[in-house]
Structure 1
Amino acid sequence: MQTVHHDTPILRAWRLFAGVLAVSAVLALPQVAQAGGDPFGVYANVGTAPGQLLAAPQKDVSPLATALPTAWKDEPLSLMQLSALALHDNPRTRVAWETLRGQAAALGVAESAAWPTLNLNVPLTRVRSVNSAGTAQPAENTLQPNLSLSWLLWDFGQSQAAVNAAQAQLNAARFTQNATVQSILADVRQAYYQLLGDRALIESYGQALHSAQAALDAAQARLRAGQATIADVYQAKASVAAARATLLAAQQTVASDEGALANAVGLPLGTSLKLAPLDLKVSPKLRDSVQQLMQQALDVNPGLQSTRADVTAARAELRAAQRSGLPTLTLGATQSWTLRQHWAPTRQYSIGLTVSVPLFSGFKRHYQTAQARSALAEAQANLATDAQSTRLAVWQDYYAFRSASAALPSARAQLDNAKQALAAVQAQYRVGLATMQNLLAAQAALTSARVAVTRDAINSYQSLSNLSAAIGTLTPPQGGLDGR
């Protein structure tokens, strides 16, 4: 008697799957053999022996910096414009933002624990058996779709603690982004004032060179008139050479400063930046006391706020670790179908509650709790350290500003006196009442006074910028730049 097997949809699906699998295996065998035990080619870029120079990976063609806007190329740029460019173009802002987005996604992962999970499994099997007499039985194909639902109903606050920890970490990431933004702005301010100061120094050194050349011309004129010696000329020439060398060195420093400012903004190095000169006659002021500024820093500094959020996250993680040994209540439900060749389809349903009670895990939960407790203590210690360092930074920057701003009026008075002294010595030298040494000394005193005014003014602005960064504000403290 001959048995006839009908070509059912299950059988056709099984044959198609088996055929695709067989063809894939046949096509893959030569590649596996050729790969020499490396079917995925992971060793392709690591060389064949030690000590080899490896080729660089393909370069990233994504732009690393943007150009200066066309509308801004022919006008002096303000600090506000440079800051806006930095926030848009500096890659550190993108890194901080993507980190923040990733932490927001982590919060979504933690909140997903409150929702049920639904899974569909579709196993397809083909069974063929042989009886004790050695006779093969007809093959049987079975399709068993299974739909299962699992819902965690109660876990004594474990999942909520995880959500709280993720929320605290998201807050920390938000404050970290703020700290990154403020750090970028502080870098721009520092580079901006440094460049302006060094450009002002070039002007001072240029005036010094002009004065040295005037002294040389006067010495040569008096030598021709028989009223000076050749020694005066040589001294004047040496002064001109020294002034020119100082000017050339300052010009190289300015070129370096321009690169630092372009890098802080996020522009390509070599970008030509036109800046309005800083008014050195205006002195920045500060009305708040150091105690007020330190308290303001403790309240608003984003780095300190991020560390506080780390403490909150560590505390929530400790609660989750402490509750990991408590029971959990889960709702489970399944519905499955069985489609077996030669048999009628069947369906199965189930629903129930599961109470899971952790009894022993090899002291794993004990050490997890101890680890979380130590992490909390570490976060609290980091908070105390950051608070102390923040107070110290505010204290030092406050008195650095006070020192520079207090020295500025004296430097300006010294500059006025040096100008008058040089004019008097020049007049005396022309009539033979002063020596070349007197003239060169007066010129050096005037150059030193000009440099002192410039440096004290720039130090005032830079220390004020450092103070605002230590406090954690985007703008300088109250009254900082109004000049009143």
Structure 2
Amino acid sequence: MGLRVNLIVSALALGLAAISVGGVQAQSITQALTIAYDHAPELQAALLDAKSSAEDVALANAGKRPTIGASVGGTYAWSAGQAGVGNPNGNFSDSATYTAGVSYSQTIFDNYKTDARIEAARAGAEAAEHQIRNTEQNVLLSVVQAYMSVLSGRQLVALRQENTSFFQAQLQSSQDRLEVGEGTRIDVAQAQARLAQGDATYRAALSSLEISQATFQRYVGAAPQSLSASHNYGRLIPNSLQTAIAEAEAGHPAILLAKASIRAAQAGSDAADSEFGPNASISGDVGTGINSVSGSRGISGTLGFKITVPIYAGGAIGAGVRKANIEQIKSEVNAMSAYDQVREAVISAWAGMQSADAQIAAATAGVSAGTTVLDGVIQERDLGSRTTLDVLNSQAELTTAREALINASTNKVVATFSLLAAIGHLTAPDLGLDVEVKSAVRYNQAVEDVWQELRTVAE
């Protein structure tokens, strides 16, 4: 009867652990992910990086556009002659000249170097957008890991607290049995040792929980409340490992980023090659001037063109081409590495899910068997056929099985979200989070407006 009471207390303690430690307000995994998405500084930094990369597109586009400027200027001149023969008083004269004009210059051909730079900038902006998604997945996975670390930590604290209470009861029982002559001092000493060990593991669990809660608050921006491992994201898991790998290779942000980086490196190589070609530009200006003395006015202008062909640049052009080619090769090697890493992550997460299922089944069986064994050993100890040490060992085995069940359940949830991240589906849209998705696509479209700067000046 006493064991059944302990098991009921244990179930209540494990069920209410989150409430007793973290508060009374429910906080699901979805809620934590939603809050973390809006809070995470890493995501905000990735978004700003993407916007900065978008400006590279505008800078590259400027190479094909004219440069137009207006200028207004003036000069003041004076002179004073020295008094002398024929000029007894000396002469003083001054004049002011005012000018205004408009200038125009444009590169009309640069051997397609600007085109290559624009392509490189656009590929870089695309890579930065994929980096947002990659960062998003890493952040959300870290949130899930922190969430489950807190939840399992609370369950372990409750379990080890119950374990300590059990050892306290056994110590009291062994002391009572010693007083009536049915026990020994060895039983008391063994119970005291187990109680000390149980108290140490309980305090260790508390310390670990505090660390987990601090990590949770770092990602979510708020202290954990009442947590629950339930979720419905298992529907996003592919039916087979091969399907999972195929989805990852087709849409994982890291792979898409690597592809965009290859494009950027290829465009960089083209830009370096174009340095060997000719460059042609035109320029012109028109203006007017007014002299304050003569009152003369006039309009003048110039128009010119220039063609340059590189002959020798001290080896800089050749070095630039070789460097660009090396960077292109490096981008392709990095892409192969990204494929391998993503494939490894998918296989690892898939195996983690399978392993967690097996561990949950084994731990569940162990808890069931351990409960039966402990109940029987306590009864046999009361009848004198078992010792207190047998009871303590049975309790330790049951506690180990229950801890294994907690850890396996935690591992299953983490492995599920790890697989979603590995196939590229741990994103706000895929999870259906109620957030404004962070993206620089609209910003990219805005900076492609080449006349925006001119309109801004006019306004």
- Alpha carbons of structure 1 residues 127 and 364: separation in structure 2 relative to 1, 3 Å: farther
Q: Choose the corresponding residue for 1:258, options 213, 216, 221.
A: 213
1:226: Cα distance to partner? 1.7
Partner in structure 1 of residue 338 of structure 2: 386
Work out the CA distance in 1 between the residues paired with 2:215 and 2:246: 33
1:44-443 equivalence runs, <5 A: 74-128=24-78, 138-267=93-222, 271=223, 273-278=224-229, 288-343=239-294, 344-443=296-395
> Higher RCO, 1 or 2 (CA under 8 Å, sep at least 6)?
2
Give the Cα–Cα distance (whole angstroms) in 2 for the partners of residues 147 and 463 of structure 1: 66
Give the SS at the match of 2:335: helix
* TM superposition shift of 1:475: 6.6
C-alpha deviation, 1:346, in angstroms? 1.8
The one-letter code sitting in structure 2 at the alignment partner of 1:118 is: I
Moved more, 107-116 or 442-451: 107-116
Cα distance change on mapping 1:349 and 1:277 into 2, 3 Å: closer
| Kept in 1: contact 2:286–2:301 (CA 8 A) | yes
Deviates more, 1:257-266 or 1:399-408: 399-408
SS at match of 2:284: strand
In structure 1, stretches of 5+ residues that fail to align are: 1-71, 479-484
Deviation at 1:338, TM superposition (A): 2.3
Supply the distance in 1 between the matched residues of 2:235 and 2:108 (Cα, whole angstroms).
62
- Partner SS for 1:444: helix
Moved more, 141-150 or 286-295: 286-295
Using the TM superposition, give the Cα deviation of residue 327 of structure 1 relative to its aligned residue in structure 2, in angstroms.
2.4
Superposition map of 1:32-47 within 5 A = none
Q: How far has the Cα of 1:155 moved from its partner?
A: 2.9
> Using the alignment, how far apart are the partners of 1:129 and 1:333 within structure 2?
34
Q: 1:427 to 1:378 in 2, by over 3 A?
A: same
SS at match of 1:391: helix
What per-residue deviation string (whole Å, max 9, x for no partner) do you get for residues 276-326 of structure 1? 34369xx99966333332222221111221121111011111111211232
Of residues 441-450 and 350-359 in structure 1, the stretch that sits farther from structure 2 once superposed is 350-359
Relative to structure 2, which stretch is displaced further, 169-178 or 373-382? 373-382
Q: Helix, strand or coil for the counterpart of 1:361?
A: coil
Distance in structure 2 (CA, Å) of the matches to 1:434 and 1:389: 55
Query: How far, CA to CA, are the matches of 1:355 and 1:322 in structure 2?
Result: 18
> Which amino acid in structure 1 is aligned with residue 159 of structure 2?
S
- % identical aligned pairs: 25
Range with bigger deviation, 181-190 or 140-149 = 140-149
Distance 1:219 1:284 in 2: 52
Cα deviation for residue 101 of structure 1 reads 1.2
Under a length normalisation based on structure 1, what TM-score does the superposition of the two structures give? Answer: 0.76
Q: CA deviation at 1:355?
A: 3.2
Instruction: Report how far residue 123 of structure 1 moved.
Output: 3.5
Does structure 2 retain, via aligned residues, the 8 Å contact 1:218–1:430?
Answer: no
Partner-residue secondary structure (3-state), 2:229: coil
The DSSP-based 3-state class of the residue aligned with 1:94 is helix
Query: Paired residue for 1:474, among 426, 435, 459?
Result: 426
Q: Which residue of 2 aligns with 1:17?
A: none
Within the candidate set 450, 455, 462, 2:407 is matched to 455
AA in 2 matched with 1:209: T
Structure 2 residues not aligned, in runs of 5+: 1-21, 85-89, 431-459
- Structure 1 residues 143 and 291: CA distance shift in structure 2, 3 A: same
In the other structure, the counterpart of 1:15 is none
Mean Cα deviation higher: 137-146 or 154-163: 137-146
Cα gap change, 1:177 to 1:148, in 2 (>3 Å): same
* Per-residue Cα deviation, 1:192-237 (whole angstroms, up to 9, x for no partner): 1111112111222122123222322322332233211222122222
The whole-number CA distance in structure 2 between the counterparts of 1:318 and 1:324 is: 10
Q: Give 3-state SS (helix, strand or coil) of 1:214's partner.
A: helix
Check whether the contact 2:130–2:257 (CA below 8 A) recurs between aligned residues.
yes
Q: Distance in 2 between matches of 1:285 and 1:242?
A: 43
Shift of 1:127: 3.8
Distance 2:267 2:237 in 1: 41
Alpha-carbon distance between aligned partners in 1 of 2:192 and 2:242, rounded to the nearest angstrom:
54
Query: Is the CA contact (8 Å cut-off) linking 2:74 and 2:98 kept in structure 1?
Result: yes
Amino acid at match of 2:383: V
Whichever structure has more helix as a proportion of its residues is 2
Shift of 1:440: 0.9
Specify the SS of the correspondent of 1:324. helix
**2:280 match: secondary structure:** strand
**How far, CA to CA, are the matches of 1:309 and 1:472 in structure 2?**
16
Q: Which amino acid aligns with 2:351?
A: Y
Q: Does 463-472 or 407-416 show the bigger shift?
A: 463-472
Task: State the alpha-carbon separation in 1 of the partners of residues 24 and 409 from structure 2.
Answer: 27
TM-score where L is the length of structure 2:
0.80
Give the match's secondary structure for 1:144: strand
Give the total of aligned pairs: 400
